[in-house]
Amino acid sequence: MTADVFIAGVGMTALGKRLDQSVKSLTAKAVQAALTDAGAETAHIQAAWFANTRQPMLEGQNTVRGQIALRPLGLTGIPVINVENACASGSTALWLAMQWLRSRRRHRPGRRGREDGLARPPGAGGCGLCGRDRHPRPRRRAGLHPRDGRRGAGRGPQPVHGSVRRPGSRPHGPARHDPGRLRPCGGQEPRGGRPEPAGPIPHPHDRGAGAGRQAYCLPLHPRHVRARQRRGGGHGGVQQGRAEAARRRRAAVRVRGCALVSASAREAADMDNHIGRRAALAAWEQAGVGPDDIDAVEVHDATSYAEIQQIENLGLARPGTAGERLRRGDFALGGRTPVNASGGLVAKGHPVGATGIIQLHDLTRQLRGEAGAAQIEGARMAAAENGGGFLGVEEAATVVTVLERAA
């Protein structure tokens, strides 16, 4: 039986240029926010996955990035795994953490697949996913300023994504030379109004009580562990433990499926075997659900066209109909299946290695009812599609994750 994996705490720094801060300082803020959200401490962390993609180029820190960034927090001695998978780095780190957690569960003799069958807190892994890549040295940071105010100079994912709309590829609805019809997707503002980019998540309950009885990981805890009740202390202590367990279950978000695939050698016109489509099918199979079951979606819209393509890859629209349905508002906030209610990558400035983990952060808040003006009413299940790099005619890596509100 496959062990369930849950997200119990999330945290991130505010989006924007942070030339006055370092990777270490931004890491510390994100980690502390997630630990606070989970009601945990650094002492509970047993493993961490640290993902980013531009730090070697901007800072020259090519190796042991996670160990260096996490050391000031006291996270030493534990396994720290550094992950680089282009823009899919963050979601790839979560995928890896899930494999670690499930392998530990499988190899513990006498363990059951149910949470209430545990005699003691199991080992928990961490995802230290800090993709905010900034060089701390002023002389190198200064080199970034001449580009301020300019759009998309040089090579990058945006022109590559745009170029895949070539003759022979499947039409997605809007005419190629009608940019006005692309406006419903890839807008600069979140569809539900701009929420605070990473404001403090409201806490209706004190999640700190009893944290010492559990093992957690950071800053996304991929496994929610039922609060352990003390054997002694009287009836009142047992009741308090049960109440705390109930509160944690309500805040947890279950990862029902998470599929990672890589680019194939398909022909450009073979959209049925597009990497995004293959990842989506694998994730739906793992989750035991389909696109019709999804209430909220975040896709990797590095360009407006990419949002159209990924909507069809996920099966939210029939081939060739996504453009028209976007125009009708089917994927807007209040529509049938809201897509990128947070504003998507275009609104976020495409934060590269942090992209996938921000999607999961936003969807976790959606499922917990904490998305503010961008909240999708009654959202219980969500999906995220995150692509990274480019190889041949498609992304080099893609992760599709399916989340579900735990209670």
- pLDDT at res. 203: 28
Between 119-123, 163-167, 269-273, 372-376, the lowest mean confidence (pLDDT) is in 119-123
Fold of 6-135+202-254: Peroxisomal Thiolase; Chain A, domain 1 (3.40.47)
User: What is the average per-residue pLDDT within 249-274?
Assistant: 93
Label residue 189 by pLDDT band (50, 70, 90). low
In degrees rounded to 5, what are phi and psi of residue 128? -85, 85
* 153-166 average pLDDT score: 47
Torsional sign, CA 315, 384, 300, 362: positive
Per-residue pLDDT at 186: 47
Is 190's pLDDT higher than 60? no
Residues 6 or more apart whose CB falls under 8 angstroms from that of 45 comprise 75, 78, 124, 126, 216, 217, 218
Whether the pLDDT of residue 268 is over 90: the answer is yes
* Strand pairing category for 6-7 and 253-262: antiparallel
Closest by CA to 256, choosing from 6, 9, 1, is 6
Return the amino acid letter for 47.
Answer: A
pLDDT score recorded for residue 55? 87
Distance CA 36, CA 41 (A): 8
Q: What is the pLDDT of residue 219?
A: 38
Q: What is the largest CA-CA distance in the chain?
A: 73
Q: In this predicted structure, what is the pLDDT of residue 258?
A: 98
- Averaged over 202-225, what is the pLDDT? 34
Say which range, 64-78, 158-172, 277-291, has the weakest mean pLDDT: 158-172
Neighbours of 103 (CB within 10 A): 12
Q: What confidence tier does 157 reach under pLDDT thresholds 50, 70, 90?
A: very low
**pLDDT in the model for residue 1:** 52
Strands of 6-7's sheet in order across: 6-7, 253-262, 397-405, 381-388, 296-298
Measured distance CA(88)–CA(395) in Å, rounded = 10
pLDDT in tens, 218-228: 333 333 322 22
Distance CA 160, CA 247 (A): 45
Alpha-carbon distance of 387 to 301, in angstroms, equals: 9
**Which pLDDT tens digit goes with each residue over 366-401?**
999 999 999 999 999 999 999 999 999 999 999 999
Of the pLDDT bands very low, low, confident and very high (cuts 50, 70, 90), residue 244 is low
> Quick check: 170 pLDDT over 80?
no
> In this structure, which amino acid lies at residue 27?
T
pLDDT of residue 201: 31
Lowest mean pLDDT of 25-34, 175-184, 203-212, name the range.
203-212
Q: Say which residues have a Cβ less than 8 Å from residue 243's Cβ, sequence separation at least 6.
A: none
Within the chain, which residue ranges are assigned CATH 3.40.47.10?
155-197+256-405
Please state the rounded mean pLDDT for residues 172-195: 48
Name the pairing type of β-strands 80-83 and 48-51: parallel
- DSSP count for the chain of H helices, then E strands: 12, 7
Dist CA 48 CA 126 (whole Å): 4
Domain 155-197+256-405 grouped into CATH 3.40.47.10: yes
**Mean of pLDDT over the chain:** 75
Give the pLDDT band (50/70/90) at residue 106.
low
Residues 6+ apart with CB under 8 A from 60: 135
Distance CA 96, CA 91 (A): 9
Please give the structure tokens belonging to residue 97: 């953490």
Mean pLDDT across 83-105: 94
Q: What is the pLDDT of residues 123-137, one digit of tens each?
A: 333 444 443 333 344
Better-scored residue on pLDDT, 62 or 260: 260
Please name which of 337, 341, 387 lies closest in space to residue 363, comparing C-alpha atoms.
Answer: 341
So what's the pLDDT on residue 246? 59
pLDDT of residue 304: 84
Under 8 Å between Cβ of 205 and 213 = no
Query: 196 vs 81, which has greater pLDDT?
Result: 81
User: 338 with 332: CB under 8 angstroms?
Assistant: yes
